Amino acid sequence: MQLGPYKLVNNLALAPMAGVTDLPFRLLCRRMGAGIAAGEMLTSDVRLWNTAKSRRRMDHSGESEPRIVQIAGGDPAMMVEAAQRNVDAGAQIIDINMGCPAKKVCNKAAGSALMKDEQLVREILDAVVKSVKVPVTLKMRTGWDRDHRNSVAIARMAEDIGVQALAIHGRTRACMYEGNAEYATIAEIATRVGIPVYANGDIDSPRKAKFVLEQTGAAGLMIGRSAQGRPWIFREINFFLETGRSCEEPSLVEVRDIMLVHLRDLHVFYGEEAGVRVARKHIDWYAKGRAQAHEFRHAVMQATDSQTQLERARDYFDALVESHDAVLDSVA
């Protein structure tokens, strides 16, 4: 799959998610098989960049090409400045966010709120595309609400302006993350534009991935929430699409080792106190659906230093491994 000058290793993308797709998680998902991974959404207001949070969001140290920065805002001039500054800092693709449904973003006429004003969308896309020499991509939803699905018109406009790829979440802004994603609109967009389209929304298994590709005719798939606590989903989907067969689920030992490396990376990236705090939600996702997860969560939430957190996470998965092995021995 080609995106601008970059030949991608596959057609799977990690969706940018605020508070989730930081550098450690992006690197992990790339190792697990994601072809590309955009950074967390960054405000276009450069006056707000002088914070530890924003500096971390702009950190792409050690990241494979292409390095993707997603920016959000509703003012064309501010979007241009944000795009140019990020390109100067090493961004190789600029992604424009018109998909975030969060109220704090939409209340500032950014994210998916922009889809209500197609003229402003045109001005932003045209200004950003003309201002940088790297590919510009666009992530959006199917529309503002069920009665105003205008993503086809915006997609065609974006292609005419020079946007080089689209990612479409199969819900309107009003839907937030409720209900089921619909793929008919994505399929229509894929037939109406000549640039790559990524389908996004509710892709939670290899078979669902194949289904969505067949239903939409999209060039690629974008995985978001389904990768939380399960970054190997990219490996599973790649294997299924290539072979038509399901690969083995990762063993508990492999899950434990993936998680521990991830936690250590978070501790280093954020520092002791913040790293422990950020790691909690990831540990929660890794434990989801497993035995005694509630008790484990409680124990982990009480850990206030990285060493204790790592030890409790390791002990929990070691106990799961022992229990699993004991069951196998009894059956044998």
Known catalytic residues are: 100
What's the per-residue H, E or C state across 63-122? CCCCCEEEEECCCHHHHHHHHHHHHHCCCCEEEEEECCCCHHHHCCCCHHHHHHCHHHHH
Contact 152, 166 (CB under 8 A): no
Question: For residues 134 and 205, what is the distance between their CA atoms, to the nearest angstrom?
Answer: 33
Cα 34 to Cα 30, 59, 104, 109: the distances in Å are 5, 19, 29, 31
For the record, the structure tokens of 310 come out as 């790592």
Query: Where in the chain does DSSP place strands (E)?
Result: 2-3, 6-7, 12-14, 36-37, 42-43, 68-72, 93-98, 136-141, 165-169, 197-200, 220-223
